[in-house]
Chain A
Amino acid sequence: MKNKKQLLIAVLIGLGFVVLPLLIEGYWIRVISSIFMYGVVTGALNIIAGFAGYAAFGNVVFFGIGAYSTAMLMLRVGFPWWGGCVIGAILAAFFAVVVGFPVLRLRGHYFAIATLGINRAVEQIALDWGSFTGGGKGITLPLPQMEIQSFYAMIYFILFGLLLLTLLTNFVIARGRLGYALRAIRDDEDAAEASGIFAPSCKVIAWAISAFITGLAGGVFAYWFSFIEPATVFDIMIAVKAFVMMMLGGAGTVMGPVLGAFLLELISETVWGQFLTIHMLILGTIVIGVVIFIPRGMLHLFRQRFSLSALIRNIKNQSI
């Protein structure tokens, strides 16, 4: 937040979102809830991928862990949804710590692939361990005991709150010691260690925070849809979309990832409605376009004042 004016705008926008459910109809409430959720997942991804530079393509595994934990705790143990969510998030963070120490030693695409493998492995376990997780049939959660429209509105606000939490977390990290440590690690891990940064701990902490928030999102998702199965909550497309959203908005910034999530998910939803059969085509083209033209993200583009010639020059410079 650079100055008072920006803060004011942000607060106004925030208030706008609070009031919105009164003005729009159910479908759009669910669309925007979905956008909030992607904002959370992307913002969480930003902590490990944007700040620390570790491309956790499999981060969606924490979403799944959160979803399954919440579902099973609600169904088998009778926990309230928020209890299940928090415990699910803690489990996800714990998993990140356990797996993180060995796996975060890998660099570059090896780390990315390892996380994909982890997601795949956990998804398969969820599929195969039918007795525990319900296998391919999934889990049906106890339905909420309230009128459906109120329920959706409640979900809207829960996710909005979660989004604010995510933004706050990003903000605090960016301004604090951890943020500087992570960025140094991203830029040059050896030089970072030579400066006194304990890279392994910092990375694991970052991933645990990312996992916790992603786990929360997964838990809310489970409660929201009352039904989960491995293919949905471990879906690699969620991770891919989150990555593209992060890049679109600007990886490593505070607002960027969330803005990217808004933009892409909004486009995705409107396109889905109109052009069902070529949905993937359009999404794919957007992805390609973002990578070629806006790799540093929209925020970066704003700073360069949308200069088309600069853009073309950039592309020429970096082309083979």
Chain B
Amino acid sequence: MQTNPIGRSEKALVLQVLLNGIFLGAIYANIAVGFSLAWGVMDVINVAHGTMIVMGSFVTFFLFKYIGIDPFLSIPFSMAVLFLIGYFAQRYLLNLVVKVGIFLSLILTFGLDLVFINAVLLIFTGDYRSVTPSYSGSNFQVGGINVPYIRLATLGICILLTGLLQLFLTRTRTGNAIRATAQNRQAAEIVGVNVARIYSVTLGVSAALAGACGSLISMVQSFTPFEGGFFIMKAFIICVLGGLGNVYGAMIGGVLLGLVETTGARILGTGFQEAISAIIMILVLIFMPKGIVGSKYK
């Protein structure tokens, strides 16, 4: 165990690690929820989701640095921008290949990812960026545990977003149409659902969630246009752990991964962490194909 500079009790240390795990897990959960929406509803594995998160970070960065908008207040903006990107990508590109097979859409999103990365690179260059509002780094102490304000607010917003998503999916017309289409596309078409539009909205919502996520992450770590791959890997692992297309599963999977990673980093040091996550994912795939939480959507 590392030395204890503040002289906190061991119990406080454990709680700190757990809290950090939950904070991290909330972000991971949000990444996964958006990613799994597209996958569960349309069988679209949006490899560009990671870069969409990064784009959200850059929107916040831009608004903060050049217009002076507080990062938390920029979230609606990043969500709106990403919603439009996702909507049009689905409407005019993905909808053309979705029916044919999963791999076509997967490779198409790879192509989109390349385009997005390059676009961001051209606009913002490849330098490391970060968003540091005046309150970064401030925190308060509770019984020897450090609680950074930003992290706490992030946790709150993640919970809020997930709750809003659930409400959207269960209480609105469009949301119900999305769930219906996810269960049976043809049946939904027959009762009058405009599947093309619904799919576009779905990817739009998925992208919007990514955007919000990116805005939150921008305050926590520095980023370049290339961070996407890292996020996507997390999203895969969580979706596999939590079961596909399952909002609760994604949440639980995200928090689980967050906890595992922070405790693992504490105990093992940061080496081999990624390898272990990847191996866990493969093992889960092989032995528990439905994920830890259980079966498919809705």
List the interface of chain A (C-beta within 8 A of B). 55, 102-103, 105-106, 108-110, 112-114, 116-118, 120-121, 124-125, 128, 236, 240, 243-244, 247, 277-281, 283-288, 291-292, 295, 315, 318-320
Contact = CB atoms under 8 A, between A and B. Distances in A.
Given A117-B282, A284-B113, A55 B103 contact: yes
Contact of A280 (B114, B195, B282): B114
Given A103-B285, A286-B111, 4 more contacts: A244-B111, A284-B112, A284-B115, A288-B93
Contacts of A243: 107
Contacts of B26: none
A281 B121 CA distance: 10
B119 interface: yes
A320 B274 contact: no
A236 B115 CA distance: 16
A277 B289 CA distance: 42
30 contacts: A55-B103, A103-B282, A108-B102, A109-B103, A110-B240, A110-B285, A116-B236, A117-B237, A121-B279, A121-B282, A243-B107, A278-B118, A280-B115, A281-B122, A283-B111, A284-B112, A284-B114, A284-B116, A286-B111, A287-B110, A287-B114, A288-B93, A288-B108, A288-B115, A291-B108, A291-B111, A292-B93, A318-B97, A318-B100, A320-B196
Q: How large is the interface on B (under 10, 10 to 19, 20 to 34, 35 or more residues)?
A: 35 or more
A134 to B, nearest CB: 14
Contact of B274 (A120, A244, A315): A120
User: For chain A, what secondary structure do more than half of its interface residues adopt (helix, strand, loop), or is it mixed?
Assistant: helix
A120 B230 CA distance: 11
A297 to B, nearest CB: 12
Contacts of B275: 120-121, 124-125, 128
A291 B44 CA distance: 14
Contact of A319 (B95, B113, B279): B95
B272 interface: yes
B107 A291 contact: yes
B281 A117 contact: yes
Contact of B97 (A102, A116, A295): A295
Nearest to B113: A284
A320 B112 contact: no
B40 to A, nearest CB: 12
B96 A315 contact: yes
**Which interface residue of A103, A121, A244 has the most chain B CB atoms within 10 A?**
A121
B28 interface: no
B286 A319 contact: no
B285 A120 contact: no
B104 interface: yes
B112 to A, nearest CB: 7
Contacts of A55: 103
B82 to A, nearest CB: 18
Nearest to B119: A281
B233 A287 contact: no
A263 to B, nearest CB: 16
B271 interface: yes
Q: Nearest 5 pairs between A and B by C-beta?
A: A284-B114, A287-B111, A124-B275, A121-B278, A284-B115
Contacts of B108: 287-288, 291-292
Contacts of B118: 277-281, 284
Contacts of A110: 240, 285, 289
Contacts of A121: 274-275, 278-279, 282
